Amino acid sequence: MTRRQLMFALPAAATLAAAGGFYAMLSGMRRGSFDPRGVPSALIGRPVPSFELGPLPNWNKPGLSSRDILEAASLRPVLVNFWASWCVPCLVEHPQLMKLAAEGVPVFGINYHTGTQTDPGATAWLRRHGDPFARIGIDLTGRVAVDWGVYGVPETYVIDRRGIIRWRMAGPITPEIDAEQLRPLLRSLA
């Protein structure tokens, strides 16, 4: 093969390989064997990581610590939700969080960092869409998110009455996930 032919063949081969991988992924999704949220959490079955976060500025809620979560979880299972005002999927799951909170499920919020800045739109977002959180901590450095193994927002964790992480959802809690996974789990842990 000449050098010129090679220049055309390599990009074509790479494109075909990428197309083949994409096709395999789509085929797996149709068969139900591919889950884009399928990155497992190393924390499932482990205690809540220790942390203490300050409150969201200009909001009427106290900050959040692992002690707060453990105290609430000793009475009933709780949710810990990592979110941000700039996160579009967070808006998708927000109605489910509002329903859960209205039904008495403690939902704790951790406002995910936006670099080294606070999330300037967080309070406006909560005013506009509602506040489902019992407490909100702001993770300015992202250290707490790293300790929890967060890949992006939203991510939600269920904590049982012994303070053990039992479930993780990477991505939004849709009505289907709420009905098929989350509600049955909360009932079984109650």
157's tokens:
């964790």
Return the pLDDT at 57: 87
Question: SS3 for the chain, per residue?
Answer: CCHHHHHHHHHHHHHHHHHHHHHHHHHHHHHCCCCCCCCCCCCCCCECCCCEECECCCCCCCCEEHHHHHHHHCCCCEEEEEECCCCHHHHHHHHHHHHHHHCCCCEEEEECCECCECCCCHHHHHHHHCCCCCEEEECCCCHHHHHHCCCCCCEEEEECCCCEEEEEEECCCCHHHHHHHHHHHHHHHC
For the stretch 121-159, pLDDT in tens is: 899 999 999 999 999 999 988 999 999 999 889 999 999
CA 77 to chain centre: 17
Return the pLDDT at 151: 87
- CATH homologous superfamily of 52-189 equals Glutaredoxin (3.40.30.10)
Return the pLDDT at 9: 59
Domains of the chain: which residue ranges?
A: 1-34, 52-189
For the stretch 66-85, pLDDT in tens is: 999 999 999 999 999 999 99
Report CA-CA distances (Å) from 57 to 66, 80, 140, 161, 178.
20, 19, 11, 30, 30
Q: Is the pTM of this model over 0.75?
A: yes
Report the DSSP beta bridge partners of residue 107: 79
Residue of higher predicted confidence among 2 and 25: 2
For the stretch 10-58, pLDDT in tens is: 565 555 544 445 454 444 444 444 444 445 677 899 999 999 999 998 8
Return the pLDDT at 2: 74
For the stretch 155-173, pLDDT in tens is: 999 999 999 999 999 999 9
Q: Judge whether residue 108 has pLDDT over 60.
A: yes
Return the pLDDT at 58: 87
